[in-house]
Structure 1
Amino acid sequence: MFDSQIGGGDAHSILIRGHDLVNELFYRDFIDVIALELLGEFPSPQLKRMLNLFLVSATDHGLTPSALSARLTLHGAPEAMQGALAAGLLGAGSRFLGVIEYAARFLRDALPKQESYTDEELRRYAEECVRANKAAKRKIPGVGHPIHVDGDPRCEKMFEIAKECGYYGNYSRFAVELASATARLSGRKVPLNATGAKGAIALDMGLTPELGKALTMIGRSVGLMAHIIEEQKNPIGQKVWDMASGTAEHG
């Protein structure tokens, strides 16, 4: 016998984690239901604000590889919006869209386990971490940005909101020190980027790296659907293909 704690129903009702979909959840907003589904309970006002931040920050970044994948898939199968959406999400990984998961895992594994840390300890741990990864020629996920070389403006606002909500903790402090140590030891500006900030905040919120990635994909689904709908109305898929193939012909 299979069982799930998430949802179910019968001929007269539909339940999500024990809450009536029609008579109760129809009166709650979507973030409440996202928290109920993913975390098993309704969020506090502070948690709700943070979940909203994660979703909004992930909605769209323009013609990214994921958006292009969605558009090109729709070009090949215009009857399959769901396939285009899936194609856009399939590329969420260590380079694009899914970096928060890897940044969070890195921070979780790199910071020695103890209850509290002084600023000096975090600075020392960060420098040791940077030196070790530099020697191994490993890139630190969540650090560095090709455009926001003077600092990712999203990070400052994210940390500001996290502080207001009580979620600016050891991992966020460590992430800031990690970026600073990278800059010091490299002799150039290397800012923390949004995925590094969100990975740290997710851990300070008590979320797993996988849940951080889940929120990113939920948020990005909205942006991908916007690209899909725009592709239906004002297609660029054929032009992208023509540019890649160097020909205007197609079969």
Structure 2
Amino acid sequence: MVKTDIGYTTVDAIVVRGRDLSKEIIGKFDFIDMIYHTTFARMPSAREKTMVTAILVTTADHGITPSSLAARLTYAGAPEAMQAAVAAGLLGAGSVFLGTMQNAAEMLIEAGRELGPDAGDEAVRDVARALILRYRQERRPLYGVGHPIHVNGDPRVATLRELARANDYYGVHWRLMDAISEVLIQEQGKKLPLNAVGAIASIVADMELDPMVARGLALVGRSAGLLAHLVEEKTQPIGRAAWELVLQDDPRNEVP
């Protein structure tokens, strides 16, 4: 038999994790409740809801990005398939854009195994130094630091850190992520402040969630942002204009 514990459908009802969707969920659950109910088979605490909401809001949008451009260009070519445009925007979520929260969370969880919850500041810094050295020797990208635009510091980080502290989720992984950035800046002279990827990864790690959840929540949040771009593309299109800019940049092309 092939089945899922998440839910099933009968002639008269839809059941999700043992609850009747029509009678026990719709109108009673908010979206974060539903994420926890379907994914973890339990309801979230108030502080969990606060942090997951913050992650979804943070990842929803920040203007023209590879994901929003991909969505807009796909919509420009196939306006009858809005779902394809959203999918196009999400397909590029990987180790360079959007999906890096998972990579950063995995990095923190792996390195954090050397530290107890009450580890001293110098012990945390030692682990940060060792991690930076190992990643450099292995030519691996160091996740969660630096930003092409926010070169003086990502403005989202302070707010996310404050929320994490207020909700008791500023733990050893947050401390390690902060230490990584501090070592890079203070000891190695590199302008690599903590970014939102590192902040969200720290939250997910200190919430003891699977790192995959970090990427998943980023995708859920970004879907809302992509919807906004497509609604705007319908009335204020820029996808074709972006394409024409590329054509104009190559003298061999003739812009139609």
Q: Which is further off, 77-86 or 141-150?
A: 141-150
2:21: which partner in 1?
A: 21
Inter-partner Cα distance in structure 1 for 2:148 and 2:9: 49
Question: What's the offset of the Cα at 1:201?
Answer: 1.1
Structure 1: 5+ residue runs without aligned partners?
Answer: none
Structure 1: 4+ residue segments shifted above 6 A? none
TM-score (normalizing by structure 1): 0.95
Question: What's the offset of the Cα at 1:186?
Answer: 2.6
Q: Which amino acid aligns with 1:92?
A: A
Question: What's the offset of the Cα at 1:109?
Answer: 2.0
Q: Which amino acid aligns with 1:249?
A: V
* SS state at 2:8 partner: strand
TM-score (normalizing by structure 2): 0.93
* SS state at 2:23 partner: coil
In 1, are the aligned partners of 2:106 and 2:211 still within 8 Å (CA)? Answer: yes
In 2, are the aligned partners of 1:101 and 1:210 still within 8 Å (CA)? Answer: yes
1:175: which partner in 2?
A: 177
RMSD: 1.4
Does the alignment pair 1:249 with 2:255? yes
Tell me the matched-pair count.
Answer: 250
1:73: which partner in 2?
A: 74
Inter-partner Cα distance in structure 1 for 2:49 and 2:113: 29
Q: Which amino acid aligns with 1:235?
A: P
In 2, are the aligned partners of 1:100 and 1:213 still within 8 Å (CA)? Answer: yes
2:4: which partner in 1?
A: 4
In 1, are the aligned partners of 2:144 and 2:195 still within 8 Å (CA)? Answer: yes
Aligned pairs for 1:177-216 (under 5 A) are 177-216=179-218
In 1, are the aligned partners of 2:115 and 2:124 still within 8 Å (CA)? Answer: no
Q: Which amino acid aligns with 2:243?
A: W
* Percent of aligned pairs sharing the same letter: 42
Q: Which amino acid aligns with 2:14?
A: I
Q: Which amino acid aligns with 1:98?
A: G
* SS state at 2:114 partner: coil
Does the alignment pair 1:96 with 2:102? no
* SS state at 1:58 partner: helix
Structure 2: 5+ residue runs without aligned partners?
Answer: none
Question: What's the offset of the Cα at 1:248?
Answer: 6.0
2:83: which partner in 1?
A: 82
- Aligned match for 2:154, one of 152, 156, 159: 152
Q: Which amino acid aligns with 1:106?
A: M
Inter-partner Cα distance in structure 2 for 1:248 and 1:233: 26
Question: What's the offset of the Cα at 1:87?
Answer: 0.3
Q: Which amino acid aligns with 2:121?
A: D
In 1, are the aligned partners of 2:112 and 2:172 still within 8 Å (CA)? Answer: no
Residue deviations 1:140-173, cap 9 Å, x none? 1111122222222211111111111111111011
Q: Which is further off, 139-148 or 4-13?
A: 139-148
Q: Which is further off, 137-146 or 121-130?
A: 137-146
2:41: which partner in 1?
A: 40
Question: What's the offset of the Cα at 1:114?
Answer: 4.3
* SS state at 1:15 partner: strand
Q: Which is further off, 80-89 or 13-22?
A: 13-22
- Aligned match for 1:121, one of 97, 120, 123: 123
Inter-partner Cα distance in structure 2 for 1:243 and 1:211: 37
Residue deviations 1:51-90, cap 9 Å, x none? 1111111110111000000000011111000000000000
Question: What's the offset of the Cα at 1:132?
Answer: 2.6
Inter-partner Cα distance in structure 2 for 1:215 and 1:93: 13
In 2, are the aligned partners of 1:242 and 1:248 still within 8 Å (CA)? Answer: no
248 and 49 in structure 1: CA distance in 2 versus 1, 3 angstrom threshold: farther
